[in-house]
Amino acid sequence: MNMLLTESSLTNVTDSLPLRLLTVREYNLMAQVGILTNDEKVELIKGQIVTISPQGSFHAAAITRTNRLLTNQLNEILIRLQLPIIVNDVSQPEPDIAIVKYDPLDYDDRHPLATEVYLVIEIADTTLKTDLEIKRQLYASANIPEYWVLDVKQRQLYIYRQANNGDYETTIILSDQDSIELLNFPDAKIKVSEMLRPLK
């Protein structure tokens, strides 16, 4: 069985085939013993090892800009960039940005749990469908209170809030002319345009 799937093919896996899903513990053990190497760009989603799309310059720059905006406005939290969070026993994604509860050891003994996550942000250029569907449901099922998807091509920000029964009840779609306050940090206000490449 080929356990390495692309993000786009994850939705095409047939339900008629029995799959042996991995747990977070087994996935991390594979990395510890060298089955998965440090240079492999993968994450665990719903028990399956999924390859992460290579980063384009637009994607990387959007992460940098957004991190700078959040760092300048938020205190007493940690901002993690493309690092694992544990959302359940079979999923350990590595979101582009995660705002998590402060830990004096910077989580050096474990990865943050979903209950310690305030906000997840995915930057989408080639992964929009996956981020809007699979990742949205994944984060909602873990009751992560707020999830953003920044569409760098269409210059839009999708905001999902109020997780309930495996999905979010509230969806907001903002243009690059709009601003948004963070759900758990109402004093922090982000302009969508500042997350994106400046228009000429």
Q: What is the pLDDT of residue 172?
A: 98
* Per-residue pLDDT tens digits for 161-189: 999 999 999 999 999 999 999 999 999 99
* Per-residue pLDDT tens digits for 132-160: 999 999 999 999 999 999 999 999 999 99
pTM for this entry: 0.86
* Per-residue pLDDT tens digits for 41-72: 899 999 999 998 888 888 899 999 999 999 99
Q: Is 93 left (phi over 0), alpha (psi -120 to 50) or beta?
A: beta
Beta strands in 36-155 (DSSP E): 42-45, 48-51, 77-81, 97-101, 117-124, 146-151
Q: What is the pLDDT of residue 6?
A: 57
Dihedral of CA 98/167/145/116: which sign?
negative
Domains of the chain are 4-51 (no CATH), 57-195 (3.90.1570.10)
In whole angstroms, give the CA distance from residue 85 to residue 123: 16
* Confidence label for 1 from pLDDT (cuts 50, 70 and 90): very low
Look at 12 and 24; give whichever has higher pLDDT. Answer: 24
Q: In Å, how far are 69, 142, 154 from 130, measured between CA atoms?
A: 25, 17, 16
Residue of 164, 165, 129, 167 whose CA lies nearest to 149: 129
Here the tokens at position 191 are 């302009």
**pLDDT at residue 14 above 70?**
no
Q: What is the pLDDT of residue 11?
A: 52
* Per-residue pLDDT tens digits for 102-139: 999 999 999 999 999 999 999 999 899 999 999 999 99
**Percent of the chain scoring above 90 in pLDDT:** 78
The answer to whether residues 172 and 183 touch, using CB atoms and an 8 Å cutoff, is: no
Q: What is the pLDDT of residue 48?
A: 93
**Element containing residue 175 per DSSP (H, E):** strand 167-175
In whole angstroms, give the CA distance from residue 7 to residue 131: 10
Q: What is the pLDDT of residue 33?
A: 92
